[in-house]
Amino acid sequence: MDHLIIYKYSLCVALTLMLFFGFYFLSAPTPEKPIFDNYLRSRRIMGIAILVLAVNYSVHLFYGIRFVNVKAAISMNLSTYFLSYWLFSSALTALLDRFYLTVHRFVAHIARWILFTVLSGIVLLAFPENNMQKIGLLIMASWLFIYGITLAYRLIKTYRKAVKLFDDTHSDHIGAYIHWLSIFTYWAVIYGVSCGLLTFLPDEYIYLWVISSIPFYIYLYCSYLNYQIFYEQVENILETEIISSEQIEPQENEQEIAVPSCYTEIEKNLSIWLDSKGYISPGLTIRELSEALHTNRTYLSTYIKATYNLSFRDWITRLRLEYAKQMLREHPELTVAGISEMSGFLSQSYFMKIFKEQEGCSPARWRKSQI
Protein backbone atom coordinates (compact mmCIF):
# COMPACT_ATOMS: atom_id res chain seq x y z
CA MET A 1 0.00 0.00 0.00
CA ASP A 2 3.04 2.28 -0.15
CA HIS A 3 1.92 3.63 -3.49
CA LEU A 4 -1.39 4.75 -1.94
CA ILE A 5 0.42 6.69 0.78
CA ILE A 6 2.65 8.38 -1.80
CA TYR A 7 -0.42 9.09 -3.90
CA LYS A 8 -2.27 10.81 -1.03
CA TYR A 9 0.72 12.81 0.17
CA SER A 10 1.53 13.99 -3.35
CA LEU A 11 -2.13 14.94 -3.84
CA CYS A 12 -2.02 17.01 -0.62
CA VAL A 13 1.13 18.86 -1.73
CA ALA A 14 -0.11 19.43 -5.28
CA LEU A 15 -3.56 20.54 -4.16
CA THR A 16 -2.14 23.00 -1.63
CA LEU A 17 0.09 24.57 -4.26
CA MET A 18 -2.68 24.69 -6.85
CA LEU A 19 -5.12 26.40 -4.48
CA PHE A 20 -2.49 28.98 -3.58
CA PHE A 21 -1.49 29.60 -7.21
CA GLY A 22 -5.10 29.65 -8.41
CA PHE A 23 -6.35 32.17 -5.86
CA TYR A 24 -3.18 34.24 -6.20
CA PHE A 25 -3.68 34.52 -9.95
CA LEU A 26 -7.28 35.58 -9.40
CA SER A 27 -6.73 38.16 -6.66
CA ALA A 28 -3.12 39.41 -6.67
CA PRO A 29 -2.79 43.10 -7.62
CA THR A 30 -1.09 44.42 -10.73
CA PRO A 31 0.18 47.94 -11.52
CA GLU A 32 -2.79 50.28 -11.91
CA LYS A 33 -2.22 51.00 -15.58
CA PRO A 34 -4.67 50.28 -18.42
CA ILE A 35 -1.98 48.39 -20.32
CA PHE A 36 -1.99 45.67 -17.64
CA ASP A 37 -5.69 44.88 -18.20
CA ASN A 38 -4.87 42.14 -20.69
CA TYR A 39 -2.20 40.64 -18.43
CA LEU A 40 -4.70 40.58 -15.56
CA ARG A 41 -7.34 38.96 -17.77
CA SER A 42 -4.88 36.29 -18.86
CA ARG A 43 -3.72 35.62 -15.31
CA ARG A 44 -7.30 35.29 -14.04
CA ILE A 45 -8.17 32.79 -16.77
CA MET A 46 -5.06 30.84 -15.79
CA GLY A 47 -6.20 30.99 -12.17
CA ILE A 48 -9.58 29.53 -13.15
CA ALA A 49 -7.82 26.77 -15.10
CA ILE A 50 -5.71 25.83 -12.09
CA LEU A 51 -8.72 25.87 -9.76
CA VAL A 52 -10.68 23.65 -12.16
CA LEU A 53 -7.89 21.11 -11.92
CA ALA A 54 -7.77 21.66 -8.14
CA VAL A 55 -11.43 20.59 -7.94
CA ASN A 56 -10.49 17.44 -9.83
CA TYR A 57 -7.63 16.76 -7.41
CA SER A 58 -9.95 17.39 -4.44
CA VAL A 59 -12.41 14.78 -5.62
CA HIS A 60 -9.58 12.27 -5.97
CA LEU A 61 -8.16 13.13 -2.53
CA PHE A 62 -11.30 13.35 -0.39
CA TYR A 63 -13.57 10.86 -2.14
CA GLY A 64 -11.02 8.43 -3.57
CA ILE A 65 -13.10 8.22 -6.74
CA ARG A 66 -10.28 6.43 -8.48
CA PHE A 67 -10.71 3.43 -6.16
CA VAL A 68 -14.51 3.63 -5.84
CA ASN A 69 -15.56 4.02 -9.48
CA VAL A 70 -12.80 3.86 -12.07
CA LYS A 71 -15.12 4.72 -14.96
CA ALA A 72 -16.41 7.84 -13.23
CA ALA A 73 -12.82 8.87 -12.45
CA ILE A 74 -11.75 8.45 -16.08
CA SER A 75 -14.81 10.36 -17.32
CA MET A 76 -14.15 13.20 -14.87
CA ASN A 77 -10.47 13.38 -15.81
CA LEU A 78 -11.15 13.48 -19.55
CA SER A 79 -13.75 16.24 -19.12
CA THR A 80 -11.48 18.25 -16.82
CA TYR A 81 -8.49 18.02 -19.17
CA PHE A 82 -10.57 19.08 -22.16
CA LEU A 83 -11.76 22.23 -20.41
CA SER A 84 -8.34 22.94 -18.90
CA TYR A 85 -6.60 22.66 -22.27
CA TRP A 86 -8.67 25.54 -23.61
CA LEU A 87 -8.33 27.68 -20.48
CA PHE A 88 -4.55 27.25 -20.41
CA SER A 89 -4.08 27.96 -24.12
CA SER A 90 -6.48 30.93 -24.04
CA ALA A 91 -4.69 32.52 -21.10
CA LEU A 92 -1.29 32.25 -22.77
CA THR A 93 -2.43 33.20 -26.27
CA ALA A 94 -4.16 36.30 -24.87
CA LEU A 95 -0.80 37.56 -23.59
CA LEU A 96 0.34 37.96 -27.20
CA ASP A 97 -2.99 38.54 -28.94
CA ARG A 98 -5.42 40.69 -26.99
CA PHE A 99 -8.14 40.08 -29.62
CA TYR A 100 -8.03 36.29 -29.26
CA LEU A 101 -10.68 36.08 -26.54
CA THR A 102 -14.11 36.65 -28.08
CA VAL A 103 -17.64 35.69 -27.10
CA HIS A 104 -17.97 33.56 -30.23
CA ARG A 105 -14.78 31.63 -29.48
CA PHE A 106 -15.82 31.18 -25.83
CA VAL A 107 -19.24 29.78 -26.76
CA ALA A 108 -17.73 27.48 -29.39
CA HIS A 109 -15.22 25.94 -26.99
CA ILE A 110 -17.74 25.54 -24.18
CA ALA A 111 -20.08 23.77 -26.61
CA ARG A 112 -17.25 21.41 -27.64
CA TRP A 113 -16.46 20.72 -23.98
CA ILE A 114 -20.10 19.87 -23.18
CA LEU A 115 -20.32 17.58 -26.23
CA PHE A 116 -17.04 15.87 -25.32
CA THR A 117 -18.15 15.38 -21.70
CA VAL A 118 -21.52 13.91 -22.69
CA LEU A 119 -20.00 11.53 -25.24
CA SER A 120 -17.26 10.44 -22.79
CA GLY A 121 -19.91 9.68 -20.20
CA ILE A 122 -21.94 7.66 -22.71
CA VAL A 123 -18.89 5.62 -23.76
CA LEU A 124 -17.85 4.86 -20.19
CA LEU A 125 -21.20 4.43 -18.48
CA ALA A 126 -23.57 3.25 -21.21
CA PHE A 127 -21.39 1.08 -23.46
CA PRO A 128 -20.87 -2.56 -22.44
CA GLU A 129 -17.36 -3.47 -21.29
CA ASN A 130 -16.18 -4.99 -24.54
CA ASN A 131 -14.28 -3.95 -27.65
CA MET A 132 -16.90 -1.32 -28.44
CA GLN A 133 -16.10 0.55 -25.22
CA LYS A 134 -12.36 0.25 -25.86
CA ILE A 135 -12.80 1.70 -29.34
CA GLY A 136 -14.98 4.47 -27.93
CA LEU A 137 -12.33 5.31 -25.30
CA LEU A 138 -9.65 5.33 -27.98
CA ILE A 139 -11.71 7.76 -30.06
CA MET A 140 -12.30 10.07 -27.09
CA ALA A 141 -8.62 9.97 -26.10
CA SER A 142 -7.62 10.74 -29.71
CA TRP A 143 -10.08 13.64 -29.80
CA LEU A 144 -8.59 15.03 -26.59
CA PHE A 145 -5.06 14.63 -27.93
CA ILE A 146 -5.83 16.30 -31.27
CA TYR A 147 -7.68 19.11 -29.50
CA GLY A 148 -4.70 19.77 -27.22
CA ILE A 149 -2.22 19.67 -30.11
CA THR A 150 -4.39 22.08 -32.14
CA LEU A 151 -4.51 24.59 -29.29
CA ALA A 152 -0.78 24.24 -28.69
CA TYR A 153 -0.05 24.74 -32.40
CA ARG A 154 -2.12 27.94 -32.43
CA LEU A 155 -0.25 29.23 -29.38
CA ILE A 156 3.18 28.41 -30.84
CA LYS A 157 2.15 30.07 -34.11
CA THR A 158 1.17 33.23 -32.22
CA TYR A 159 4.43 33.11 -30.28
CA ARG A 160 6.57 32.77 -33.43
CA LYS A 161 4.66 35.59 -35.09
CA ALA A 162 5.42 37.84 -32.11
CA VAL A 163 9.10 36.86 -32.07
CA LYS A 164 9.37 37.58 -35.81
CA LEU A 165 7.78 40.98 -35.23
CA PHE A 166 10.30 41.77 -32.50
CA ASP A 167 13.26 40.57 -34.59
CA ASP A 168 12.16 42.59 -37.61
CA THR A 169 11.69 45.83 -35.69
CA HIS A 170 14.01 45.90 -32.64
CA SER A 171 17.73 45.43 -32.24
CA ASP A 172 17.41 44.05 -28.71
CA HIS A 173 16.40 40.46 -28.02
CA ILE A 174 12.80 41.20 -26.95
CA GLY A 175 11.80 37.63 -27.83
CA ALA A 176 13.74 36.45 -24.77
CA TYR A 177 11.04 37.98 -22.57
CA ILE A 178 8.39 35.63 -23.95
CA HIS A 179 10.58 32.55 -24.45
CA TRP A 180 8.96 30.97 -21.39
CA LEU A 181 5.71 30.74 -23.35
CA SER A 182 7.20 28.28 -25.83
CA ILE A 183 8.88 26.26 -23.06
CA PHE A 184 5.66 26.05 -21.11
CA THR A 185 3.62 25.14 -24.20
CA TYR A 186 5.83 22.18 -25.12
CA TRP A 187 5.94 21.13 -21.47
CA ALA A 188 2.15 21.43 -21.28
CA VAL A 189 1.73 19.19 -24.34
CA ILE A 190 3.99 16.53 -22.83
CA TYR A 191 2.33 16.87 -19.43
CA GLY A 192 -1.18 16.84 -20.89
CA VAL A 193 -0.53 13.73 -22.97
CA SER A 194 1.12 12.05 -19.97
CA CYS A 195 -1.88 12.82 -17.74
CA GLY A 196 -4.19 11.35 -20.33
CA LEU A 197 -2.12 8.16 -20.47
CA LEU A 198 -1.65 7.95 -16.70
CA THR A 199 -5.43 8.01 -16.30
CA PHE A 200 -5.49 4.48 -17.69
CA LEU A 201 -2.47 3.17 -15.74
CA PRO A 202 -2.75 0.63 -12.90
CA ASP A 203 -3.27 2.05 -9.41
CA GLU A 204 0.31 1.47 -8.26
CA TYR A 205 1.60 4.00 -10.81
CA ILE A 206 -1.08 6.66 -10.50
CA TYR A 207 0.95 8.78 -8.07
CA LEU A 208 3.22 9.66 -10.99
CA TRP A 209 0.33 11.66 -12.45
CA VAL A 210 0.20 13.86 -9.35
CA ILE A 211 3.94 14.23 -8.71
CA SER A 212 4.54 15.33 -12.30
CA SER A 213 2.18 18.27 -11.83
CA ILE A 214 4.12 19.92 -8.98
CA PRO A 215 7.12 21.31 -10.95
CA PHE A 216 4.74 22.15 -13.81
CA TYR A 217 2.64 24.55 -11.71
CA ILE A 218 5.65 26.00 -9.88
CA TYR A 219 7.24 26.91 -13.23
CA LEU A 220 3.99 28.48 -14.43
CA TYR A 221 3.65 30.56 -11.24
CA CYS A 222 7.25 31.82 -11.40
CA SER A 223 6.96 32.59 -15.12
CA TYR A 224 3.86 34.74 -14.66
CA LEU A 225 5.49 36.65 -11.80
CA ASN A 226 8.65 37.24 -13.81
CA TYR A 227 6.77 38.19 -16.98
CA GLN A 228 4.92 40.97 -15.16
CA ILE A 229 8.26 42.82 -14.98
CA PHE A 230 8.63 42.83 -18.77
CA TYR A 231 4.97 42.79 -19.80
CA GLU A 232 4.56 46.54 -20.22
CA GLN A 233 7.56 46.76 -22.56
CA VAL A 234 6.40 43.78 -24.63
CA GLU A 235 2.80 44.98 -24.83
CA ASN A 236 3.84 48.50 -25.85
CA ILE A 237 5.91 47.06 -28.68
CA LEU A 238 3.07 44.78 -29.81
CA GLU A 239 0.57 47.64 -29.84
CA THR A 240 2.93 50.07 -31.58
CA GLU A 241 4.22 47.69 -34.23
CA ILE A 242 0.87 46.11 -35.08
CA ILE A 243 -0.75 49.52 -35.50
CA SER A 244 2.21 50.73 -37.59
CA SER A 245 2.04 47.64 -39.79
CA GLU A 246 -1.65 48.22 -40.43
CA GLN A 247 -0.94 51.83 -41.40
CA ILE A 248 1.92 50.91 -43.72
CA GLU A 249 0.32 47.92 -45.42
CA PRO A 250 -1.83 49.89 -47.90
CA GLN A 251 1.25 51.86 -48.98
CA GLU A 252 3.07 48.58 -49.57
CA ASN A 253 0.37 47.32 -51.89
CA GLU A 254 0.11 50.58 -53.78
CA GLN A 255 3.85 51.03 -54.32
CA GLU A 256 5.05 47.45 -54.44
CA ILE A 257 6.56 47.87 -57.89
CA ALA A 258 8.39 51.05 -56.88
CA VAL A 259 10.24 49.47 -53.96
CA PRO A 260 13.39 48.37 -55.87
CA SER A 261 13.89 51.94 -57.15
CA CYS A 262 14.30 53.05 -53.53
CA TYR A 263 17.20 50.68 -52.91
CA THR A 264 19.82 52.97 -54.42
CA GLU A 265 18.89 55.82 -52.11
CA ILE A 266 18.65 53.48 -49.13
CA GLU A 267 22.05 51.99 -49.91
CA LYS A 268 23.66 55.42 -50.15
CA ASN A 269 22.19 56.72 -46.90
CA LEU A 270 22.79 53.44 -45.11
CA SER A 271 26.47 53.51 -46.03
CA ILE A 272 26.82 56.91 -44.36
CA TRP A 273 24.96 55.65 -41.30
CA LEU A 274 27.18 52.57 -41.05
CA ASP A 275 30.31 54.73 -41.23
CA SER A 276 28.98 56.78 -38.32
CA LYS A 277 28.55 53.59 -36.24
CA GLY A 278 24.88 54.35 -35.64
CA TYR A 279 24.21 50.69 -34.89
CA ILE A 280 25.90 50.91 -31.46
CA SER A 281 23.01 53.01 -30.18
CA PRO A 282 21.26 50.90 -27.47
CA GLY A 283 17.62 50.01 -28.03
CA LEU A 284 17.74 50.87 -31.73
CA THR A 285 14.53 50.17 -33.69
CA ILE A 286 13.87 49.96 -37.39
CA ARG A 287 11.49 52.90 -37.03
CA GLU A 288 14.33 55.09 -35.72
CA LEU A 289 16.67 53.93 -38.47
CA SER A 290 14.10 54.54 -41.23
CA GLU A 291 13.54 58.06 -39.90
CA ALA A 292 17.30 58.69 -39.86
CA LEU A 293 17.56 57.46 -43.47
CA HIS A 294 14.39 59.34 -44.56
CA THR A 295 12.78 56.22 -45.97
CA ASN A 296 9.82 53.93 -45.43
CA ARG A 297 10.56 51.37 -42.74
CA THR A 298 8.91 48.59 -44.76
CA TYR A 299 11.19 49.31 -47.72
CA LEU A 300 14.16 49.38 -45.36
CA SER A 301 13.19 46.04 -43.83
CA THR A 302 12.77 44.54 -47.29
CA TYR A 303 16.17 45.89 -48.33
CA ILE A 304 17.92 44.45 -45.25
CA LYS A 305 16.39 41.01 -45.80
CA ALA A 306 17.14 41.03 -49.53
CA THR A 307 20.72 42.28 -49.12
CA TYR A 308 21.88 40.53 -45.95
CA ASN A 309 19.34 37.69 -45.68
CA LEU A 310 18.92 38.57 -42.00
CA SER A 311 16.26 40.00 -39.76
CA PHE A 312 16.80 43.52 -38.45
CA ARG A 313 17.87 42.23 -35.03
CA ASP A 314 20.32 39.66 -36.43
CA TRP A 315 21.81 42.26 -38.78
CA ILE A 316 22.35 44.81 -36.02
CA THR A 317 23.73 42.10 -33.73
CA ARG A 318 26.27 41.09 -36.38
CA LEU A 319 27.38 44.70 -36.83
CA ARG A 320 27.75 45.14 -33.08
CA LEU A 321 29.75 41.94 -32.79
CA GLU A 322 32.17 43.10 -35.49
CA TYR A 323 32.52 46.43 -33.71
CA ALA A 324 33.12 44.64 -30.40
CA LYS A 325 35.82 42.46 -31.99
CA GLN A 326 37.51 45.56 -33.35
CA MET A 327 37.47 47.14 -29.89
CA LEU A 328 38.83 43.95 -28.31
CA ARG A 329 41.76 43.97 -30.74
CA GLU A 330 42.58 47.67 -30.65
CA HIS A 331 41.87 48.54 -27.01
CA PRO A 332 43.33 45.97 -24.62
CA GLU A 333 42.87 48.43 -21.75
CA LEU A 334 39.07 48.17 -22.01
CA THR A 335 37.15 45.49 -20.12
CA VAL A 336 34.80 43.04 -21.79
CA ALA A 337 31.90 44.58 -19.84
CA GLY A 338 32.85 48.05 -21.06
CA ILE A 339 33.13 46.92 -24.67
CA SER A 340 29.79 45.13 -24.43
CA GLU A 341 28.13 48.36 -23.32
CA MET A 342 29.97 50.49 -25.88
CA SER A 343 28.87 48.13 -28.65
CA GLY A 344 25.20 48.70 -27.86
CA PHE A 345 24.41 45.49 -25.98
CA LEU A 346 22.08 46.05 -23.03
CA SER A 347 23.13 42.79 -21.38
CA GLN A 348 26.69 41.56 -20.92
CA SER A 349 25.45 37.99 -20.50
CA TYR A 350 23.68 38.17 -23.86
CA PHE A 351 26.83 39.61 -25.46
CA MET A 352 28.90 36.76 -24.02
CA LYS A 353 26.37 34.20 -25.22
CA ILE A 354 26.15 35.30 -28.85
CA PHE A 355 29.90 36.00 -29.04
CA LYS A 356 30.61 32.43 -27.98
CA GLU A 357 28.02 31.11 -30.44
CA GLN A 358 29.73 32.91 -33.32
CA GLU A 359 33.40 32.57 -32.37
CA GLY A 360 33.35 29.38 -30.32
CA CYS A 361 35.01 30.98 -27.29
CA SER A 362 34.57 33.80 -24.80
CA PRO A 363 35.53 37.41 -25.71
CA ALA A 364 38.46 37.28 -23.26
CA ARG A 365 39.89 34.11 -24.80
CA TRP A 366 39.30 35.45 -28.33
CA ARG A 367 41.20 38.63 -27.41
CA LYS A 368 44.19 36.57 -26.20
CA SER A 369 44.21 34.59 -29.45
CA GLN A 370 44.55 37.85 -31.43
CA ILE A 371 47.76 38.91 -29.68
Read off the pLDDT of residues 167-188 as tens digits, 9 standing for 90 and up: 999 988 888 888 888 888 888 8
How far apart (Å, rounded) are the C-alpha atoms in residues 133 and 125? 9
Co-location of 75 and 144 in the same domain: yes
Q: Would you say 355 and 366 are in contact if contact means Cβ atoms under 8 Å apart? A: yes
Co-location of 111 and 182 in the same domain: yes
Q: Mean pLDDT, the chain, as a whole number?
A: 86
Co-location of 284 and 343 in the same domain: no
Single-letter residue type at 290: S
pLDDT digit string, tens, across residues 51-79:
999 999 899 888 887 777 777 888 888 89
Q: How many domains does the chain have?
A: 3
Co-location of 76 and 198 in the same domain: yes
CATH number at residue 66: 1.20.1070
Residue 249 resides in a domain: no
pLDDT higher for 125 or 336? 336
Co-location of 230 and 266 in the same domain: no
pLDDT higher for 295 or 209? 295
Q: Would you say 196 and 81 are in contact if contact means Cβ atoms under 8 Å apart? A: yes
Q: What is the pLDDT of residue 261?
A: 64
Q: Answer with the one of 186, 215, 242 that is the final residue of a domain.
A: 242
How far apart (Å, rounded) are the C-alpha atoms in residues 173 and 150? 28
Mean pLDDT confidence for 1-27: 87
DSSP 231-251: HHHHHHHHHHHHHHHHHHHHH
CATH number at residue 326: 1.10.10.60
Mean pLDDT confidence for 333-341: 92
Q: How far is CA 210 from CA 82, 85, 216, in A?
A: 18, 17, 10
Residue 267 belongs to what domain range?
A: 255-309
pTM of the model: 0.84
Please give the DSSP secondary-structure letter assigned to residue 279: G
Residue 248 resides in a domain: no
SS3 call for 321: helix
Q: What is the pLDDT of residue 251?
A: 46
Of 38-42, 84-88, 264-268, 362-366, minimum mean pLDDT range: 264-268
pLDDT digit string, tens, across residues 109-124:
999 999 999 998 888 8
Co-location of 86 and 52 in the same domain: yes
What percentage of the chain exceeds 70 in pLDDT?
A: 90
Q: What is the pLDDT of residue 125?
A: 79
Burial code of 82-108, b = ≥16 C-beta within 10 A, e = fewer?
bbbbbbbbbbbbbbbbbebbeeeeeee
Residue 250 resides in a domain: no
Is a pLDDT exceeding 60 seen at residue 245? no
How far apart (Å, rounded) are the C-alpha atoms in residues 69 and 362? 60
Q: Answer with the one of 242, 263, 284 that is the final residue of a domain.
A: 242
Q: Would you say 177 and 233 are in contact if contact means Cβ atoms under 8 Å apart? A: yes
Q: What is the pLDDT of residue 248?
A: 44
pLDDT digit string, tens, across residues 273-325:
999 999 999 889 999 999 999 888 888 988 999 889 999 999 999 999 999 99
Please give the DSSP secondary-structure letter assigned to residue 309: S
Q: E-strand spans in 258-313?
A: none
Single-letter residue type at 176: A
Of 26-30, 62-66, 266-270, minimum mean pLDDT range: 62-66
Which distant-in-sequence residues (6+ apart) come within 8 Å of 83 by Cβ? Answer: 52, 113
pLDDT digit string, tens, across residues 41-58:
999 999 999 999 999 989
Mean pLDDT confidence for 82-93: 93
Mean pLDDT confidence for 358-362: 91
Co-location of 167 and 129 in the same domain: yes
Co-location of 151 and 283 in the same domain: no
The confidence band for 198, taking pLDDT boundaries of 50, 70 and 90, is: low
How far apart (Å, rounded) are the C-alpha atoms in residues 50 and 21? 7
How far apart (Å, rounded) are the C-alpha atoms in residues 156 and 178? 11
How far apart (Å, rounded) are the C-alpha atoms in residues 51 and 134? 30
Chain centroid offset of residue 223 CA? 10
Residue 155 resides in a domain: yes
Beta bridge partners of residue 170, listed in sequence order: 285
